[in-house]
Amino acid sequence: MDQQLNFISLGVRDVLRSRDFYISGLGWKAHFEVPGEVIFIQVNHGLILSLWNRSAMAKELGVESESFQSPGGVPPITLSHNVGSPQEVDAVVRDAQKAGAAVAHPPRTQSWGGYSGYFADPDGFRWEVAYNPSWLVDEAGHVTV
């Protein structure tokens, strides 16, 4: 198997609410969508973020919908958005909050030497916004470790 990742699919409770957050709120562009069922968003590095109706996802996976994360819990995954400075971290977290995100942890200097904060989307998926001084983030958003 090749070492690659092409899709990240998030099982969301309400596709329209997620659309409002990601497309209307954050200003991202839908690559393809089936209203109320799934939205595909082309993100950098050739990666697709899929916002998929949680019940439909469960059915395709062959599991009961109840086996997915409960509405009050925190999904066990983080998605990261790396930027080139602490000021950019602050700006991205502010923009996400304006779009309706809950700030889970305000940006701060971390023990690993960088600066990061977390926000939660409408389904509680945590996004880390991070600046790592030992990584390079170019103008196109490509990260070199």
Place 49 in a pLDDT band, splitting at 50, 70 and 90: very high
Examine the domain organization and report whether 128 and 84 are in the same domain.
yes
Contact 36, 53 (CB under 8 A): yes
Examine the domain organization and report whether 49 and 22 are in the same domain.
yes
Among the listed ranges 9-18, 59-68, 106-115, which one has the minimum average pLDDT value?
59-68
User: Average pLDDT over the chain, rounded to whole?
Assistant: 88
Residue 4: what pLDDT?
A: 74
What pLDDT, in 10s, does the model give residues 98-141?
999 999 999 999 988 999 999 999 988 899 999 999 888 888 77
Report if residue 53 sits inside a domain. Answer: yes
Residue 102: what pLDDT?
A: 94
d(Cα 121, Cα 84) in Å, to the nearest integer? 22
d(Cα 134, Cα 115) in Å, to the nearest integer? 12
Nearest Cα neighbor of 55 from 117, 115, 11, 100 is 11
Q: For residue 120, what are the β-bridge partners?
A: 102, 126
Examine the domain organization and report whether 44 and 94 are in the same domain.
no
Domain residues for the domain of 59 are 1-63
Strands 47-53 and 7-12 come out as: parallel
Structural domains of the chain, count? 2
Examine the domain organization and report whether 2 and 57 are in the same domain.
yes
